[in-house]
Amino acid sequence: MKPIEIIDIDVSYGAKKILEAITFNADASEILGIVGPNGSGKTTLLKAMSRVVARDNGDIRLEGRDLDSFEHRELARRVAVVPQDISIGFDYSVRDVVMMGRHPYIGRFASETAQDMEICDRAMRLANVAHLAGTSVRDISGGERQRVLIARALAQEPKILLLDEATSNLDVSHQVEILNIIRDLAEEITVVSVFHDLNLAAHYCDRLLLLKDRRVYALGTPSEVLTREKIREVFGMEVLVKSHPLTGRPYVLPVYMHQSGSGGNRRVHVVCGGGTGSDILHLLHTAGFAVTCGILNVLDTDYGTAMHLGIPCVAEPPFHNITPKSLAGLRECLDGADTVIVTAMPIGKGNLDNLQVLLDYPKKPIIFYARDHTARMEDFTGGEAWAVLTNLEARGAHRIEGAAELLAYLSRDGSGCDRTP
């Protein structure tokens, strides 16, 4: 018997359908994350599970029993909810608020017992708020208040803990602190939590439920659910999914695509390396320039960036000198380019050819680009590179600092040929 089973439920607010045909179970001792775009029904699903909103049809079974058959206090002894930061207008102490979690256990004609006090103390210790017991809830920080609400939920001694984006208003260190507490708790209880942040969800959840347009789009382990394709389909957004270097969990990086294009398909070739070109490759690509780059080593960060963006790149295997074949590829790019950008990169014997070949294009507009004033060329060739650079500068190549300035400069006229700074 599953702790909680949701069987084909529909929920609507008035005439507006919020959830349709939702079916899933939560297993004992797991953290199940609910993710999905705004308006996909995440919070409503949680509210249906805590019986705050009624469902139109379908069944929710708690410990095998119909959710509606539970009396209010009976339900509160099994299911606890940690809301998204509530404001508490009255001057209650932290202990008062945590003790409210014992309400479903204390009869109308009774008052709290020593045992209630003990459970309350334990809950405060677990949530790390014991030291605040006597403080007013109005005098503590948002992170502390959230932990107080967790302590209150624990005082309910629930079998199932529901969290509605319980950490989304907090800074990252408090988010991690609270989610660590919750993960430790999940050894004994079932946790179902709505997450806004896909990466936190991926890290803390055993399984994820992905909602799209009121329905379950996917249910499975974080690696099964958080794929590039599914995220594109559900969030309408390009992302890179990598594996977190420390945990191996999927890690979602947005590509930050936007549609404003001032590039007008003009061609730009970027000579870069060592990560010095990643920012402008992305920038120029999204601005609508037809970007090429190279020659790069395939282990170079900039190469990875180019590949993710789908930018044509002339590349060499690692630890190889530039071959004539690559050089021919580079010349081809340079022939087609309206402007050539050279980033502030380290130059050694291995990539000196990239610069030297530019001497053969005296008419080509060349820009030396530095991300900021700290970025500069580094010559590891014993002076050869400097000679080439000086030569190029004498022919009219000029320096631009800052990505925005670069973009403004390139967008200023049709050809990008204007050499006056």
Partner 1 sequence: MRRTAPIIIVTLTGVLLISMASAVALGPSGISPGSLFSSDNAWMILWEIRLPRVIAAALVGCALAVAGTAMQGLFRNPMADPYIIGTSSGGALGATIAIVLFAGTGRPVLAFIGAMVATFTVYFVARKGGKIPIETLLLSGVALSTLLSALLSFLMYTAGQSLHQIMFWLMGGFWNISWNDVFAALPILIGVAGIYLFARDLNILALNEEDATHLGVNVERVKRILLALSAFLAGIAVSIAGSIGFVGLITPHVMRLIVGPDHRVLFPAAALAGAILLVWADTLTRTFTSDMPVGIITACFGEPFFIYLLRSRMKA
3-state secondary structure of 121: helix
Of the pair 108, 373, the CB lying nearest partner 1 is at 108
Distance CA 231, CA 374 (A): 37
CB of 51 to partner 1, least distance (A): 8
Tokens encoding 171? 């800074």
CB of 117 to partner 1, least distance (A): 12
CB of 247 to partner 1, least distance (A): 32
Instruction: Write down the residue that tokens 């939920």 correspond to.
Output: 153
Of the pair 92, 217, the CB lying nearest partner 1 is at 92
Of the pair 109, 319, the CB lying nearest partner 1 is at 109
3-state secondary structure of 34: strand
CB of 76 to partner 1, least distance (A): 3
Count the helices and strands in the chain (H runs, E runs).
15, 20
Of the pair 152, 207, the CB lying nearest partner 1 is at 152
CB of 60 to partner 1, least distance (A): 15
CB of 83 to partner 1, least distance (A): 6
Distance CA 377, CA 371 (A): 11
Distance CA 214, CA 83 (A): 21
3-state secondary structure of 92: coil
Interface residues with partner 1 (CB under 8 A) are 50-52, 72-77, 79-81, 83, 86, 88-92, 96-97, 100-101, 103-104, 106, 108-109, 152, 156
At 59, phi and psi to the nearest 5?
-120, 145
Of the pair 116, 302, the CB lying nearest partner 1 is at 116
CB of 47 to partner 1, least distance (A): 8
Tokens encoding 316? 């060499």
Distance CA 10, CA 258 (A): 36
CB of 7 to partner 1, least distance (A): 22
Distance CA 32, CA 396 (A): 61
3-state secondary structure of 163: strand
Of the pair 154, 309, the CB lying nearest partner 1 is at 154
Contact status, residue 67 vs residue 248, Cβ threshold 8 Å: no
Distance CA 102, CA 109 (A): 14
Of the pair 17, 249, the CB lying nearest partner 1 is at 17
Distance CA 309, CA 179 (A): 34
Tokens encoding 357? 């070949």
Contact status, residue 22 vs residue 45, Cβ threshold 8 Å: yes
Of the pair 75, 406, the CB lying nearest partner 1 is at 75
